[in-house]
Amino acid sequence: MFVPCEVVAKTILPNIRALIARELSKKHHLRQKDIAKTLGISQSAVSMYFRGYRGITLNLENDKEVYDKVVWLSEKFFEGSLSQTELISKVCEICRLIRSKGLLCQLHKQFIKPYDIGECFYCLGRVG
């Protein structure tokens, strides 16, 4: 069984990274190698984001509030102006926003198909 944070690690975090990578490429014309270095990931991961092999489980661009926060975060990555603590805080803030909007629920249900947990509030950040 997968708990919501595992689903986030497998689906939402790659989505966020993919969006940031695209923003860095589009707005700042960074190469894949430079994006990879900025994000602390491999160049092949960036390539997979660009080709749509990774980071595509949820279209975060459809939610303006989430998308605006990711764009803001991509600017901070480019500037290098966030400490590690601030970066973690901002990514967790985006994750909480995604969860509070119920965007994670459908993905979570796909991961727990063999289980019937009834009405679930965990993805929303609330305990039943």
d(CA 47, CA 27) in angstroms, rounded, equals 17
Q: What is the DSSP letter of 9?
A: I
**pLDDT grade, residue 4 (50/70/90)?**
confident
How much is the pTM?
A: 0.83
Q: What is the mean pLDDT of residues 41-70?
A: 91
By the 8 A CB rule, do 121 and 4 touch? no
Which pLDDT value is given to residue 54?
85
What are the residue ranges spanned by the domains of the chain? 4-124
Nearest alpha carbon to residue 50 among 18, 27, 9, 78: 18
Which pLDDT value is given to residue 5?
82
94-112 per-position pLDDT tens digit: 998 988 888 887 777 776 6
Dihedral Cα 39, 56, 98, 64, nearest 10 deg: 90
What are 102's two structure tokens? 């119920």
